[in-house]
Structure 1
Amino acid sequence: MIRASESFFYILGNRMKQLLTIGKITGAHGIRGEMRVMPMLDVTEQFFSFKTVYIQKKGNKPQKMNVQNVRLHKNMVLLTLEGIKSRNDAEALINTTVCIDRSQDQLEEDEVYIADLIGIRVFDKKNSEIGKITDVLTNTGSVDTLEIQLRNKAKKIYVPFRKCYFYQWDLDQGTMLADIPEEFFDL
């Protein structure tokens, strides 16, 4: 299972990213500083468990803020943050991202963040490099799909992210071992 969509900056000496994006502020809701957030999580209800978030404006340092209230409304999250008291305050944050520190979320066994998959080099059973993961498609049905840019080719292949195809990964090293059937290369 894949949890949050993307991340923002690296911990020194580790390829794992520290902040994970969980949503994007798309508008103000009402006049008291509540904001509409487009969620970027598999389970939107996870928003209820976060006590603090980071607001990331493009090009600026993330700002840590306390969560005052969370509500769900029409496939959106309505979020109230400490210090955001008016519609004008909320509108000033439109198009910013809402992030959490990865330590706030615990992955289950065999779960991985999408952000940690992007850029992973994929190898076959003979340890020959197949290519690099360039995207994760999450709207392809019940199983997410990995987009892999083939090594030394302009071609990309799309493979369901299943343990039978991707049987071992080392996120710290940025590698994944795969047993991808030949028909995926011919599509």
Structure 2
Amino acid sequence: MFFRENEKVCLFIDGANLYSASRNLGFDVDYRNLLAFFRKHCNVLRAYYYSAVLDTEEYSPLKPLTDWLAYNGFFLVTKNAREFTDQNGRRRIKGSMDIELAVDMMEIAPHIDHAVLFSGDADLRRLVESVQKQGVRVTVISSVKTNPPMVGDELRRQADQFLDLVDIAPEFTRRSGDNNTQNDIPNPVIPFTEE
């Protein structure tokens, strides 16, 4: 990994994408350890977490996690997801956070040296290229070791550095089903994925 101790870094976490990748790989993200890991290696200015939420439900399984993140050093960016019924009659929920993530990264780019993007969404390739033109190095964290790969090839090629979640997972993850009481970090079951 190439992180410089004094460089100014922002983390951009696509919550649905990271959740899908980590579940596919069989582990849960420990967000306290994730933030500590990056703070140990560089100067983290901000850690953004993006998630679409269902406002129509009385209780959202995502609420405990988003509350915990908001009180523990993460900048939470949410918007209401849209619920619909697909052609097979199944309940589906759609909520892309790409625009919110792109706007935040573009706005903060002049003030940082390095952006760390937790997403495999190939639609973000142009965003990565744009902030690179402003002198910002970009690391993409996702996985090619899932089936199918969770990262788009275009995004992986555009990044200055690609880190596979599998290779750095021991630093900030716990195995699915592990007892969570040590850190009291909620481990939600997210009811949808981004489309």
Task: Please indicate the TM-score interval, normalised by the length of the shorter structure.
Answer: under 0.3
Q: Which has the higher contact order (CA 8 A, sep 6+)?
A: 2
Structure whose residues are more often helix by fraction: 2
Please report the TM-score for the alignment, with normalisation by the length of structure 1.
Answer: 0.26
